[in-house]
Chain A
Amino acid sequence: MHIPDSVLSPATSAAAAVAMLPIWAAAGKHVRKNMGSRQIPLLAMGSAFCFTIMMFNIPALGGTTAHPVAGTLLAVLLGPWAAVIGVSVSLAIQALLFGDGGLMTYGANCFTMAFVLPFTGFALYRISHRLMGNSDRTRPIAAAVGSFFGINAAAGIVALLLGIQPSLFHEANGHALFFPLGISITLPAMLITHLLVAGPAEAVVTGLVVRYLQTMSIPLYGENHSAGDLPSRRTEKIWIGLLAMIALCPLGLLAKGEAWGEWDAKGLSEQIAKQGQQAYIPKSALASEAHGYKGIRGFQDYASEKGAKGYLTAGLLGTGMIVGLIWLAGRVLNKNERTHSSPSNSGEIEYQRSNMMSASPVLPEWMITCSHIEPLPKSVRKGTRNRFLENTLNELTNRHASSLRIEESAKRSGYLQRIEPQVKILISLIFIISISSVRNLPLLAAIYLLVLYSAVISHLPIKPLLKRVWAFVFLFAGAIILPSTLNVVTPGRELIVLWQQPRVSMTFPGTVVAATLMIKIAVALSLGMTLTLSTRWNSMLKGLAVLRIPTLFLTVLAMTHRYLSVIMQTAADMFTARQSRLVGPQSNSQGRSFIGAGAGALFGKSLALSEEIHQAMISRGFRGQFIQLD
């Protein structure tokens, strides 16, 4: 659900970031008031927990896996305001430390995942819990319901942000400047995947975690919030203000949409600025196209002819096919494995009772003999290979390895490493904003080579830089943008005809639109990655401090990073332990309940650790105000 850089217009990104400012301020205030001096360790553990939870893969429909966003869970556990900060911090770590998400789109990502998601989730959790009689028994169900709606609301907002791009930001000839697909595609695409796959998985895990914590009688801080905390008049005001801002900001900036290229003049060398502006003047390559691009209008025509129903069915069919294929592949793989691995029949082995063993304690009889191993009964064999365990473990270890690699490359002496961190952050941001407005393919390629060159002369690891960026571009961005190559979205000269009746084909302008966007995303991602790879975490924090990021946020960020490896190690140990004790395949529901209990246990541990850290801070004179060494 992360929106990468270059996909949103700078105006939309700015609007979302501006909308987040009062929310962050309110969240900081609430958290300070309700949690007192406990806030920092508790929030840090919450963020580290949230970050780790996002790496847990949940077995979903037919062998697919989805990862939870944990926003609603965090809202139920710590309260919705704490969830705002918790998710924002873990998104910041993803963007700054691992180059995930985006720098420019950070505000938009926070708006959807750190605000819409936990607040919708929490509100629906409270409402449904009240409807079900406020009992402990129904709380897990209410949390599940809340999280289902939370994640779908966030997905809807993401679809909306993406979908308004072509109609708001296009050139005179109708070519999209940023994301090319309209709402009538993005909305069904996002909602169908989230309603069918991610939503149910999220709901089940949230419910299971809440149930686990309840049976372990681990306190839920979210419960301490009084009912007046939620739809109070003040929060309502914030909501109204936000909605107004969302509605007005992109529209107000619409007229200036094309003037955004002027960023170049301020931020970059004049030469690039010139080229950047040239890029705005109707493109030679595209303008030569006889038919031209009708953009959203062409699309609306289509939508009105066949109705949104057509898209809905198409989307449903597509999702169904993907799920079906994965399920089939899973079945075939399982079958192969079964024929290969038949459990070996070692007969009964009697161990000698040694003199040593006769000393207390006495082992039970069944431990002394190694019994005949029966093949697994057929009924138990059903289920997937425990792919979710492997996936999660891989992800946890990869993350750890990559954080070490980043620290190492940032330590090397190189050109980029020597630049002050705050300067680097600002330059990257300005660069990313400018690039998002450039549409000239050769210029984009030149900028990309420039970024790569600066990475090479700074001794940054090039292979992971290329691999990460292009894997993302092709797997994620590519899959989303691919439909825009078709004549249905971008009419024009046909390159390849895919289907005769009705006529479906890839068009030249469509391919150019898609390729431009993919290269833009690649450049922006590479920029983000070079920033993280060339900056040590501590100097990154110092840079952010110079840029006047509030201390509460920075302190929580620093402490979250400090404890991330501890929590991730704990999670990895849990999964390894599970794998080592596993005999035979498991059903999806067993897998899900393990994830639920595992996440619950992880939260319990995080909470205990935060309590202890709080005491350690108090013991050394902490009175609620954090002072940092500069």
Chain B
Amino acid sequence: MHVYRKIHSMTSPSTATVLIPDKSSNITSLFDLNEVAYSYAGGHSALRNITLRIHPAEKVAILGANGCGKSTLLRLMDGLVFASSGRFSAFGSDITADYLNNEQNSFQFRRRVGYIFQNSEAQLFSSTVREELAFGPMMLGLSRSEVDQRIDDMAKLLHIERLLDRAPFHLSGGEKKKVAIGSSLVVNPEVLLFDEPTNGLDPRSQRWLVELIMMLHSAGKTIITATHDLSIVPEISDRAIVFGEDHGIAAEGHSRDILANLDLLLRVNLIHEHAHRHGSQVHSHAHYHDNAHEHTHDQG
């Protein structure tokens, strides 16, 4: 089926070169999903027959239209919901409710995987930014001085020093997103799951976010991003997994190949008729739908 060979252009300290193997090989994967399905209590199906591997230090984008199951997949990979059928294993262990009920297991798993929610409002539940950043490290049992050190470093990294004693509801959307990301990064997880990270951000904040994700990746983090913002896909991912509206995987491959496959993107409702090519590439710069916009359609 799909065989990828990819050499990272941006060298990371731990893994200078990462080979992405084909599915049959036995090189250790971080996440391994085997025929996973998930349906809600009412029987409404959210994921169907998902088989997928995530390898260390990969940048993966999960693409799909609204309501196709991207967020559910991220929640499953963060051990927040559990497969109705099929198997999900992470770091070599099967992730089940029982497994995570064990204190030791959940400590290890939560330390290694971070999840940035689409809704910052849900992620920011503490009464000040400082407490928000302290939550994760305190839960992991770090000493007070370590916690303070981490808060300071994280605030510096994200330029939110002056927000530390503010309440989350006084922050702007962009600031909320920064704090939400900080609250997960402060635990220093190996795998970061981003759910629609650019949603509701202004262009400058979007740019900042993309650069942050690239920086995290070059530091050796595994990045999994669920998005329908195609413009950021080439930068935040090397591999793309496309969800169809049937809640299953419609395609996967190199991000550039996926973006070039207009038939596929049209079929899964990620683009509409007005999308168009420039040379061999889907247009990914700012795009306004005003009437003066001239299009050259080279296929029907």
Interface residues of A (CB under 8 A from B): 41, 217, 356, 537-538, 541, 558-559, 561-563, 565-566, 609, 612-613, 615-623, 627-629
Contact = CB atoms under 8 A, between A and B. Distances in A.
Given A620-B139, A623-B139, A629-B130, A217 B42 contact: yes
A42 to B, nearest CB: 12
A405 to B, nearest CB: 14
B139 A41 contact: no
- Looking at B75, B110, B122, the one whose CB has the most chain A CB atoms below 10 A away is B122
Interface in B147-166: 147, 165
Contacts of A559: 125-127
Contacts of A563: 125
22 contacts: A217-B42, A537-B127, A541-B127, A561-B127, A562-B124, A562-B125, A562-B169, A563-B125, A615-B75, A616-B123, A617-B135, A619-B80, A619-B113, A619-B114, A620-B114, A620-B135, A620-B183, A620-B184, A620-B187, A621-B106, A623-B139, A627-B139
Q: Which 7 A/B pairs are nearest by Cβ-Cβ distance? A: A621-B139, A612-B122, A620-B136, A621-B110, A619-B115, A615-B80, A616-B123
Interface of B: 42, 75, 78-80, 103, 106-107, 110-111, 113-115, 117, 119, 121-128, 130-131, 134-136, 138-140, 147, 165, 167-169, 183-184, 187, 291
Nearest to B131: A629
- Looking at B106, B127, B165, B187, the one whose CB has the most chain A CB atoms below 10 A away is B127
B189 to A, nearest CB: 10
Contacts of A41: 125
B77 to A, nearest CB: 11
Contacts, number: 85
A621 B138 CA distance: 9
A616 B127 contact: no
B131 A621 contact: no
A612 B125 CA distance: 10
Contacts of A609: 121-122
A558 B127 contact: yes
B78 A629 contact: no
B122 A616 contact: yes
Nearest to A610: B122
Given A562-B127, A562-B167, A627-B139, A621 B121 contact: no
A612 B136 contact: no
Given A538-B127, A561-B127, A562-B125, A621 B291 contact: no
Nearest to B78: A619
A612 B103 contact: no
A342 B129 CA distance: 53
Contacts of A541: 127
A566 B119 contact: no
B147 to A, nearest CB: 8
B132 to A, nearest CB: 10
- Looking at A559, A562, A565, the one whose CB has the most chain B CB atoms below 10 A away is A562
A299 to B, nearest CB: 49
B291 A356 contact: yes
A628 B136 CA distance: 11
Contacts of A628: 131
A613 B127 contact: no
A616 B169 contact: no
Contacts of A613: 122-123, 125
- Looking at B78, B124, B135, B147, the one whose CB has the most chain A CB atoms below 10 A away is B135
A554 to B, nearest CB: 10
A334 B158 CA distance: 57
A595 to B, nearest CB: 25
B134 A629 contact: yes
Contacts of B134: 629
Contact of B119 (A217, A537, A562, A612): A612
Contacts of A558: 126-127
- Looking at A565, A609, A619, the one whose CB has the most chain B CB atoms below 10 A away is A619
A356 B187 CA distance: 52
B103 A623 contact: yes
Contacts of B103: 623
A616 B117 contact: yes
Nearest to A403: B169
Contacts of A561: 127
Contacts of B119: 612
B111 A621 contact: yes
Contacts of B114: 619-620
Given A217-B42, A620-B183, A629-B131, A562 B136 contact: no
A558 B115 CA distance: 23
B160 to A, nearest CB: 16
Contacts of A615: 75, 80, 117, 122
Contacts of A565: 169
A217 B183 CA distance: 34
Given A538-B128, A562-B125, A615-B122, 6 more contacts: A537-B127, A563-B125, A616-B117, A617-B135, A618-B79, A619-B115
B86 to A, nearest CB: 21
B138 A627 contact: yes
- Looking at A41, A537, A612, A621, the one whose CB has the most chain B CB atoms below 10 A away is A621
A616 B126 CA distance: 11
A541 B107 CA distance: 29
Nearest to B147: A629
A618 B131 contact: no
Contacts of B147: 629
B138 A629 contact: yes
B110 A620 contact: yes
Given A562-B169, A612-B117, A613-B125, A621 B130 contact: no
Contacts of B140: 621
A620 B113 CA distance: 9
A621 B136 contact: yes
Contacts of A621: 106-107, 110-111, 136, 139-140, 187
A445 B107 CA distance: 60
Nearest to B100: A618
A413 to B, nearest CB: 16
Nearest to B133: A629
A618 to B, nearest CB: 6
Contacts of A629: 130-131, 134, 138, 147
Contacts of A217: 42
A627 B110 CA distance: 17
A612 B114 CA distance: 15
A283 B126 CA distance: 53
A331 to B, nearest CB: 43
Given A616-B123, A621-B136, A562 B117 contact: no
B133 to A, nearest CB: 9
A621 to B, nearest CB: 3
A596 to B, nearest CB: 23
A615 B121 CA distance: 13
A59 to B, nearest CB: 31
A566 B169 contact: yes
